[in-house]
Amino acid sequence: MAERHSSEGPDPVFVIVAGEVSGDILAAGLIRQLRQHYPRARFVGVTGPRMRAEGCESWGDIEQLSLFGISEVVGQIPRLLRFRQQLYSRVRKLRPDAFIGVDAPAFNTRLEERLRRVGVATVHYVCPTAWAWRSNRTRRIRRAVDLMLAIFPFEPAFFAGYDIPVTFVGHPLADELPLHPDPASARRALGLDENGPWVGLLPGSRGGEVSRLGPRFLHAARWLAQRQPGVRFVVPLANDRVRARFEADLEAGFADLDVTLVDGRSREVMRAVDALLVASGTATLEALLAKTPMVVAYELSSSNYWLARSLNLIKTKFVSMPNLLAGRRLVPELLQTDAQVPMLGAWLYRLLASEHARNEQVGAFETIHEGLSRGADAHAAEAVVQLIESRR
């Protein structure tokens, strides 16, 4: 890409606040591409290691915003409010060309709203999921952002209905992962027998998810093994705590199953297996990009499910990303009481037994992948450049 320099004013300054590892990855790619336009630009903000490697000065680490669970967030509210106020004061004093909040909407949107009010251009990268739940958030978002960068193609139409400017840039993960993965090389890398069938079990990355779904997934695996001779299972586990939880369930009553446990490496597992039983969440998008046929399941706690139903918080017909992106029931979604062992097992059996069923999913996954792969980092940078140049 040819370098583009501003015809007026000094070299631009950007403040970028990222939350969690995914935000660090997105922000680092954006910084790299913005430097193609502004080689001498200054970047400061709340950073992860990838952002710092791209030359972003650090006002704090993303770990300060990486919180999970209501109890943890509630306990950290006073600290987070102080930190946000400190950031506001520093950004207002610096007067950057743009403030870019990367994900972390609960933290960034309020900060963006205050900064925009005093004349700072604001960008939010990754649309909050107001299209799925709590659509009343759109009022604050409209006040907070000059530009939102969307990673999913259905998001601009939703936010346009609320007069929020959105540009679809594509998904960086779709740019990173190959359109046609190689399952055999993934099996060799994991030390798995290249002969199948292999089924991946992904019951989630957090303790509560694994506690609820782990035993059910193992029961579904046994149901399948009794009907599909030679089937074997592989389970990627996010951390030591999750592994200990799952191992306890495995040892308590499933010693008859042929199960291989893997520390991390979930993307390799997705590429290696013939089918997946996966908890609803971001893993379903990764599985789609791995072109692996899947069955999606999930179970909220009873109190959370009651709250979601009684307050009508969920606004979408589907919950899994493959179905949202396809706009139809492409993969089976078995939620709450529908996630029964015979149903989970029967859908997995169908994926292993029916080439047509597998090909239907895989063909749609390839089409979706092509639509998401647009050079997201470069498109995001171009949208930011257009915004700040229009204000100079």
In sequence order, what are the beta bridge partners of 317? none
- In a 3-state reduction of DSSP, which class is residue 307? helix
Q: Would you say residue 164 lies in a domain?
A: yes
Is there a single domain that holds both residue 217 and residue 274? yes
Is there a single domain that holds both residue 204 and residue 348? yes
Is there a single domain that holds both residue 23 and residue 67? yes
Q: Would you say residue 188 lies in a domain?
A: yes
Domain span at residue 26 reads 13-170+374-390
In sequence order, what are the beta bridge partners of 14? 43, 98
Query: pLDDT grade, residue 301 (50/70/90)?
Result: low
- In a 3-state reduction of DSSP, which class is residue 296? strand
Is there a single domain that holds both residue 156 and residue 215? no
Is there a single domain that holds both residue 116 and residue 227? no
- Do 321 and 284 meet the contact criterion of CB atoms below 8 Å apart? yes
Q: Is the dihedral of CA 132, 31, 44, 92 positive or negative?
A: negative
pTM, full prediction = 0.86
Q: In what order do the strands lie in the sheet with 232-237?
A: 259-263, 232-237, 198-202, 275-279, 294-298, 333-335
Q: Would you say residue 4 lies in a domain?
A: no
Is there a single domain that holds both residue 226 and residue 141? no
In this predicted model, which residue has the larger pLDDT, 132 or 172?
Answer: 172
- In a 3-state reduction of DSSP, which class is residue 17? strand
Is there a single domain that holds both residue 156 and residue 209? no
Average pLDDT over the chain, rounded to whole?
89
Query: pLDDT grade, residue 336 (50/70/90)?
Result: low
DSSP 230-283: T-EEEEEESSHHHHHHHHHHHHHH-TTS-EEEEES-HHHHHHH-SEEEEESSHH
Is there a single domain that holds both residue 77 and residue 199? no
Is there a single domain that holds both residue 92 and residue 119? yes
pLDDT tens figures, 250-300: 998 898 999 999 999 999 999 999 999 999 888 999 999 999 999 999 875
CATH number at residue 53: 3.40.50.2000
Nearest to 271 by CA among 359, 374, 186, 199: 186
Q: Would you say residue 176 lies in a domain?
A: no
Instruction: State yes or no: cis peptide before 197, omega within 30 of 0.
Output: yes
Asked if pLDDT for residue 70 goes beyond 80, the answer is: no
Is there a single domain that holds both residue 208 and residue 354? yes
The contacts of residue 142 (CB under 8 Å, 6+ apart) are: 162, 163, 164
| pLDDT of the residue at 1 | 37
Is there a single domain that holds both residue 18 and residue 122? yes
Q: How many structural domains comprise the chain? A: 2
d(CA 93, CA 183): 53
Is there a single domain that holds both residue 190 and residue 319? yes
Mean pLDDT along residues 168-192: 95
Query: Which residue shows structure tokens 């992860």?
Result: 48
pLDDT tens figures, 152-162: 999 999 999 99
Q: Would you say residue 1 lies in a domain?
A: no
| pLDDT of the residue at 338 | 76
Asked if pLDDT for residue 72 goes beyond 50, the answer is: no
DSSP state of 136: G
Q: Would you say residue 3 lies in a domain?
A: no
Strand ranges for the chain from DSSP E:
13-18, 42-47, 57-61, 98-102, 122-125, 147-150, 166-168, 198-202, 232-237, 259-263, 275-279, 294-298, 333-335
